[in-house]
């Protein structure tokens, strides 16, 4: 089916009417924070099945006076689609694909912050998420702007990249693209703040369980593994299989990822430096701290930046890349707005170029 993109690329003030489905999760609230200050958006609908008919500022008082919309249910999905140029979806896996399927005959464009549209091969999604994909025919684009910018411009459905995957892929993409590493030697060790687990109450996220603790989880089975492998394979043209181990740290937000890989024979430190600058030298949201640097989560807190630093171990002939992002911004809502800006034809950093919060 052909979609009438003139519906969203309006002339004049070019303000886009946007809606958020699942606005009361952490990512949804972060979207509202960012979009309420975006000069080219008008928020028209926000939904929540748990807080229907309540004002969002009652659920999140920090939004008082910035966004006081009343939360709706999804009963009027067709109407929401008709009113909106873009819909952001912030729901758990398994829900966005049904919404996308039901809206498939409307020209509204979708940015899904979940996993339903991240995989080109729906069978991989079903294997790792244990959910039947109900919209496998959907034409979707992976929403990692620094890698797929041109495809995002015209995409109707954008599967926003995951938080761990953003940190891991951006760390390794230059090395894979320039074939500087053995792609079967990759190990990613990542630590995330607890907001990455969502807002729903869970014993493992209970303060006495979390405080003064540090733990790994989903070893060998984390769902972001095939997402990283898919994208790195695409970038380098070689099949990538890797080990990814996530950890939970007792902080609210932020991800620090450490990626290890064996360098190919003859690769020098200068070649590694050049690979990072060649791919990211003009990227606004990627800050190259350089060889020998140590990115920290506090340096990117509340921002859409990804800080990268890399080290080379001559003894083991390995490269170690450190990446730091805010999981709720560059790893979720900020990245969604970055993708929206590209798709809507706006400046890519419009509304999301604020400096990180410090301390």
Q: What is the pLDDT of residues 258-272, one digit of tens each?
A: 999 999 999 999 999
Give the count of beta carbons closer than 10 Å to the beta carbon of residue 6.
Answer: 9
Angle between helices 225-236 and 122-129 (to 10 degrees): 150
- Tell whether the model's pLDDT for residue 241 goes beyond 50: yes
Each residue of 77-87: pLDDT tens digit?
A: 999 999 999 99
Any idea what DSSP says for residue 85? Answer: S
My answer on whether 83 and 151 are in the same domain is yes
| pLDDT tens profile 39-61 | 999 999 999 999 999 999 999 99
Count the domains in the chain.
2
Q: Are residues 105 and 253 in the same domain?
A: no
Query: What share of the chain in percent tops pLDDT 90?
Result: 91
Cβ atoms of residues 253 and 301 within 8 Å = yes
Question: Which sign, positive or negative, has the C-alpha torsion 192, 193, 197, 202?
Answer: positive
Instruction: State whether 169 and 318 are in the same domain.
Output: yes
Is residue 189 assigned to a domain?
Answer: yes
- Is there a cis peptide before residue 150, judged by omega within 30 degrees of 0? no
Q: Going along 173-254, which residue ranges are E strands?
A: 187-192, 215-216, 243-248
- Which residue among the candidates 16, 21, 89, 163 is catalytic per the annotation? 163
Q: Is 130 exposed, middle or buried (0-12, 13-18, 19+ CB in 10 A)?
A: exposed
67 is catalytic: no
CATH of the domain at 192: 3.30.360.10
Looking at the structure, do residues 321 and 186 belong to the same domain, yes or no?
A: yes
In a domain, residue 358? The reply is: no
Whether residue 184 sits in one domain with residue 321: yes
Does 356 reside within a domain?
no
Task: Give yes or no: residues 10 and 148 share one domain.
Answer: yes
Which CATH number fits the domain that encloses residue 77? 3.40.50.720
| Residue 178 and residue 83 in one domain | no
User: Are 64 and 119 found together in one domain?
Assistant: yes
Residue 11 lies in a domain: yes
User: Does residue 120 fall inside a structural domain?
Assistant: yes
* Inside any domain, residue 223: yes
Q: What is the DSSP string of 182-201?
A: -TTS-EEEEEE-GGGG-SS-
- For residue 236, give its domain range: 164-327
> Is 351 contained in some domain?
no
* C-alpha torsion angle, residues 284, 286, 287, 292 (rounded to 10): -160
> Do 11 and 109 belong together in one domain?
yes
**CA R_g for the chain:** 20
């Amino acid at each position: 089916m052909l979609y009438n993109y003139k519906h969203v690329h309006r002339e004049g003030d070019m303000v886009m009417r946007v809606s958020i489905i699942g606005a009361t999760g952490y990512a949804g609230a972060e979207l509202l924070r960012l979009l309420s200050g975006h000069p080219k958006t008008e928020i028209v609908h926000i939904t929540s099945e748990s807080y229907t008919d309540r004002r969002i500022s009652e659920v999140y008082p920090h939004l008082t006076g910035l966004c006081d919309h009343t939360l709706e249910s999804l009963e009027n999905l067709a109407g929401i689609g008709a009113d909106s140029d873009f819909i952001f979806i912030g729901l758990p896996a398994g829900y966005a694909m049904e919404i996308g399927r039901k809206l498939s005959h409307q020209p509204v464009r979708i940015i899904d912050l979940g996993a339903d549209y991240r995989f080109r091969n729906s069978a991989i999604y079903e294997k790792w998420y244990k959910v039947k994909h109900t919209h496998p025919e959907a034409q979707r684009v992976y929403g990692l702007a620094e890698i797929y910018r041109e495809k995002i411009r015209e995409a109707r459905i954008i599967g926003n990249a995951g938080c761990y995957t953003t940190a891991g892929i951006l760390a390794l993409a230059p090395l894979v693209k320039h074939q500087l590493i053995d792609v079967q030697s990759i190990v990613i060790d990542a630590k995330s703040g607890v907001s990455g687990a969502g807002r729903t109450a869970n014993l493992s996220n209970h303060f006495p369980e979390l405080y003064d603790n540090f733990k790994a989880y989903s070893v060998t089975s984390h769902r972001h593994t095939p997402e990283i492998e898919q994208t790195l394979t695409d970038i380098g043209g070689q099949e990538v299989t890797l080990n990814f181990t996530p950890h939970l740290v007792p902080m609210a937000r932020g991800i620090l990822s450490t990626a290890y890989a064996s360098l190919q024979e003859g690769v020098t430190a200068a070649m590694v430096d050049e690979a990072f600058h060649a791919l990211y030298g003009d990227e606004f949201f990627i800050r190259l701290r350089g060889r020998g640097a140590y990115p920290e989560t506090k340096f990117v807190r509340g921002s859409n930046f990804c800080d990268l630093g890399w080290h080379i171990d001559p003894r083991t002939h390995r490269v170690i890349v450190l990446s730091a992002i805010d999981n709720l911004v560059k790893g979720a809502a900020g990245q969604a707005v970055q993708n929206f800006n590209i798709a809507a034809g706006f400046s890519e950093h419009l509304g999301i170029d604020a400096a990180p919060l410090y301390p």
